[in-house]
Structure 1
Amino acid sequence: MRTIPMPITDFHCDVLWKLLEQDRLSFKNNPELNLDVSLPRLQQAGSILQTFAIFVSGGGEPSMLPILRTIDLFHQKVLTAPGMRFVRSAADLQAILRDGGIGAMLSLEGADGLQGDMAMLRILFELGVRAVGLTWNNGNWGADGVMEPRGGGLTAKGREFVAECNRIGLLLDVSHLSERAFWDMADVSGKPVIASHSNAKAVCRHPRNLSDEQIKALIAMDGLIGITFVPQFVREGGQATVDDVLLHVERVCELGGDRQLMFGSDFDGIESHVAGLSHPGELVNLKEALIKHYKEEQVRGFLAGNTLRFLSKHLPAE
């Protein structure tokens, strides 16, 4: 089969968490192949944009310190790799499309460490963070996560957080929110939101996946839905293949979301992998499967075009 060159974007990986936990690991070289996401594997994939999540493991008092250490790590270990380019604006993105390189964007997965202080949120924006999920799976000062038993929505501080993100231009990520908090955020936000790494609950009934109604809401606001490669989110029981991933793509398309669909791998945040999708270099397997079922224009949209269109519109211009 002829391989059609297509650029790749991925809206979620946890390699910064691994680098923070294990200082000896190398993003530039990855000689022992300990990392799913590394410079050689992004190059192998033909990646033009990778979003790097700032994730802080639970335990202890929430603090900004590990968030700031992770941002420093991003500068020291990722942005020093040849060809990696920091993406903070639509202009940065256009420069990569024009001149080449691999874009690196920062997101925050769980805002516990901000402790409800909007000044900390603004500082993170100044440091280059461009997308933020208010919670991980647990509850915090702003909302309940999807695994929090009480299933609460946004708090008053959470609503203030959403308004401030809208004001300064931070993208809001709903992937880990409780269903009630999802609907609160969809109602409160004056701008489209994204689900960086979530699948379709109609295909696999995992709590982290989105109902048809949630997916329709994201489509209606022209947000983004990042199909993820977490095996347990792809297929019940977790023994998933590329064909199982395609079932989630098809469900989003059936609901009218072919222009809102992207991918958010969760590479380096997972202990097992979809067969044939264990690192960016294997995304060719997904691309070839998609080409068999969809028009080339649609596949280009899924792999990069939809993400680039959204970011070009919603990132700061300069």
Structure 2
Amino acid sequence: MSRLLKILIGILVLLAIAAIIAFAVLPAAVERSQNKTLDHETYVISDEAAAIQDSLRLADLHTDTMLWKRDFLKRGERGHVDLPRLQDSNSAVQVFAAVTKSPSGLNYEENTAESDDLDLLVKVQLWAPRTWNSLLERAVYQSEKLHHFAEDSDGALRVVRTAAEFDAALSAGALAGILATEGAHPLEGDIANLDRLWTAGYRIIGLQHFFDNALGGSLHGVTNAGLTDFGQEAVRAIEEKGLIIDLAHSSEAVVEDVLAISNAPLIVSHTGLKGACDTPRNIRDELMVEIARRGGLIGIGYWDAAVCDVSPDGIAQSIRYAADLLGVEHVAYGSDYDGAVTVIMDSGERAALTDALLAQGFTPREIRLIAGENVIRFMRENLPE
């Protein structure tokens, strides 16, 4: 064998090793750096809290789990959410949001749409090539992932599209998975693409994420603008289609504009309340009050920018504030698990939150409402027939 050939073989071997590292090791390393759970002592739960926890049908309005490369059906050593951990908390309903674009240098004050950290992530995770240059295809791909998990779950997970499918999943004791978009930029500026999202199973449409888009301003964008003409057209089309609108990450001007033209109950899937935690992530309380007054639902998050104090007691304090301000029937969980956030309890440890809600003076009935029954009622009333 010639020396040159040996060198070429050596280079190929090094390239192969680099590829293995990139495609097998990097996805896990990236997720570990993004979806952190702080070290903590094992939570000690009162007997009363344990009994209430056993009676729950827990529901969560927001997780970004389908973005990451791991088996949702197996108990994981990274991230916040998988089916076994959801079962540990008696979860009955989980909304799975599709993240399709994430600007570099992500922050809560100002982001542009010029960069996208997901461009590299989707390739390293070996997503289908059709997703490399299309936000719509990224949303469709995440829907396909969830459907494949459901098919392989032996009935433990069902992707639901209608109120009847929702009730059937709950009756069977399966986890009801509902698909949502993290921002409406997968429409790619074309209302006709709403049909594609509908066919893929999406039933909740978030309007913005961390940057201004064709529909209007983000709470973390550069313009603070309201709905564009396209945004107004999109909101009307979303409602006519029977989809639920999510105002998480929308600018306050967009929220005001949606409230001016919308006739349907709205959600803010993952957030905090400004009066409880004054950060750029939370919109002013008056808008939350109006959303609740119209039959909407507010999902309280578990990370610092939403609740300031991420301990179970801190989250419970924000929930107490929300319930007192909005009414207990309008408050839910909206963890933002697997959303590049740091938490102190994963999806299997939420008995600690039940215990903390008891300490805040909530009754067992109120805890059941907040932990799941409010979401179950809302979905029964607002998913299409």
Q: Tell me if TM exceeds 0.5.
A: yes
Alpha-carbon separation, structure 2, partners of 1:177 and 1:9: 23
Q: Counterpart in 1 of 2:331? A: 261
Partner Cα separation in structure 2 for residue 231 and residue 254 of structure 1: 21
The match for 2:380 is 312
Instruction: Report whether the alignment pairs 1:44 with 2:88.
Output: yes
Q: Structure 2: how far apart are the matches of 1:261 and 1:283?
A: 16
Inter-partner Cα distance in structure 1 for 2:135 and 2:211:
16
Question: Pick from 94, 98, 101: which aligns with 1:57?
Answer: 101
Equivalence map 1:1-318=2 (5 Å): 1-2=46-47, 3-4=50-51, 5=54, 6-18=56-68, 22=69, 25-31=70-76, 33-58=77-102, 59=116, 63-82=135-154, 83-235=156-308, 240-273=310-343, 275=344, 277=345, 279-292=346-359, 293-317=361-385
Q: Secondary structure of the equivalent of 1:118?
A: coil
Query: Is the 1:27–1:35 Cα contact (8 Å) retained in structure 2?
Result: no
Deviation at 1:63, TM superposition (A): 3.2
Residues 166 and 380 in structure 2, CA contact (< 8 A), matched pair in contact too: yes
Please report how far the alpha carbon of residue 259 of structure 1 lies from its aligned counterpart in structure 2 after TM superposition. 0.3
Secondary structure of the 1:281 match is coil
Distance 1:258 1:7 in 2: 16
Q: Identical aligned pairs, as a percentage?
A: 29
Match of 2:22 in 1: none
Report the Cα offset of residue 193 of structure 1: 0.7
SS in 1 for 2:348: helix
1 CA distance for matches of 2:357 and 2:151? 31
Secondary structure in 2 matching 1:197: strand
Larger radius of gyration: 2
Q: Distance in 2 between matches of 1:96 and 1:55?
A: 25
TM-score by length of 2: 0.76
Contact 1:215 1:252 in 2 (8 A): no
Please name the residue that 2:4 is paired with.
Answer: none
**What is the CA–CA distance in structure 2 between the aligned matches of 1:181 and 1:79, rounded to whole Å?**
38
Cα distance in 2 between the residues matched to 1:232 and 1:118: 33
Shifted more, 288-297 versus 299-308: the winner is 288-297
Secondary structure of the corresponding residue to residue 92 of structure 2: strand
- Kindly provide the CA deviation profile for residues 286-311 of structure 1, in whole angstroms up to 9, marking residues without a partner as x: 01211232111111100111111111
Deviation of 1:62 (Å): 5.1
> Does the 8 A contact of 2:146 with 2:159 survive in 1?
no
- Higher mean C-alpha displacement, 45-54 vs 72-81: 72-81
Q: Deviations over 1:139-186 (max 9, x none)?
A: 010011101132000000000111011111100000110010111111
Number of corresponding residues: 305
Helix, strand or coil at the partner of 2:328: coil
Q: CA deviation at 1:79?
A: 4.5
Residues 252 and 75 of structure 1: is their aligned pair in 2 closer, same or farther, counting only changes over 3 Å?
Answer: same
Deviation at 1:35, TM superposition (A): 2.8
1:282 aligned counterpart, secondary structure: coil
Distance 1:184 1:252 in 2: 23
CA 1:298 to 1:79, structure 2 compared with 1: closer, same or farther past 3 Å? farther
Offset of residue 113 of structure 1: 2.4
Q: Is the 8 A contact 1:230 1:270 kept in 2?
A: no
Counterpart CA distance in 2 for 1:210 and 1:80 is: 40
The runs of 5 or more residues in structure 2 that have no matched partner are 1-45, 103-115, 120-132
> Residue type matched to 1:30 in 2?
R
Q: Which runs of 5+ in 1 are unaligned?
A: none
Bigger helix fraction: 2
